[in-house]
Amino acid sequence: MEAFGEMIKTEFKCFTRNFINMFFVLAFPGLFLILFGEIYGNDPSPLFNGQGTIDASVPAYIGMIIAVTGIMSLPLALASYREKKILKRFKATPISPFHILVSQIIVNLIMTIIGGGLLILIGKVGYDLTFSGKVLPLILVILLSIICIFSIGFLIASVVNGTKAANAVANLVYFPMLFLTGATLPLETMPDKIKKVSELLPLTHCIKMMKGLWQGSSITDFGSEIMIVAGVTIVCSLLSIKFFRWD
């Protein structure tokens, strides 16, 4: 157990030493929030059902952070470990390679929570962020969203060979999710054709749930979104188990 704790510490140090990870998890969402906050403020808007721009943006940008940790950080780290034979070498030690997978999940989960917390702090201090929903349903939906996006990251790590391929596939998945799901630009402002395309991306449904619950909707209003996100999670998890290679 002590060795596993040290592994988590090591993985955490590796994450924090990666400038790209730290920037897009901690700085980029906050900068985006400040940019739109300075342009539009947080006055109630009919575009967001009476919520302010910041009130609508914070849960969406939490989706952005989840995409960074789940689609960019997680699969690239695992692909790098496989390419460098690190997973294979751990088979000769008392620590199972499985612990690397768990430590990656824990570290990326912690960084997602920190990034989301920092985003909420900026919104509250700078723009009087308001929360109209219930905490527990929102937490459950955020966790479901994290599990879903992380399962996609694991699938990418399972089917690609090498870090270059992992980076290419991760970018191919990440950028459409970033720009077409409401994670950066509000989905409410996009043309109908773009909205139809966005329905094909699981992060869209995650953000819909988070925004709705943040604004006070009931979790029962999102039955179809929950089924879609849960379905993607199950399929990606099963495929990851089937195709994952340690070396």
Separation CA 61–CA 28 (nearest Å): 10
pLDDT at position 96:
65
Q: How much is the average pLDDT of 57-73?
A: 95
Q: Can you give the pLDDT at residue 1?
A: 65
Name the one residue in this structure whose structure tokens are 């730290």. Answer: 22
**Model confidence over 97-123: pLDDT tens digits?**
677 788 889 999 999 999 999 999 999
For residue 240, count CB atoms less than 10 angstroms from its CB and return exposed for 0-12, middle for 13-18, buried for 19 or more: buried
Inter-residue contact 143 to 225 (CB < 8 Å): no
Computed over every residue of the chain, the mean pLDDT equals 90
pLDDT of residue 92: 65
pLDDT tens, 170-191? Answer: 999 999 999 999 998 888 888 9
The residue ranking higher by pLDDT, 141 or 47, is: 141
The tens digit of pLDDT for each residue in 140-152 reads: 999 999 999 999 9
- Predicted confidence at residue 172, as pLDDT, reads 94
DSSP state, 190? S
Q: Closest Cα partner for 122 from 185, 58, 186?
A: 58
| Confidence bin at 217 (pLDDT 50/70/90) | very high
3-state SS, residue 22? helix
Q: Which residues contact 118 (CB under 8 A, 6 or more apart)?
A: 26, 30
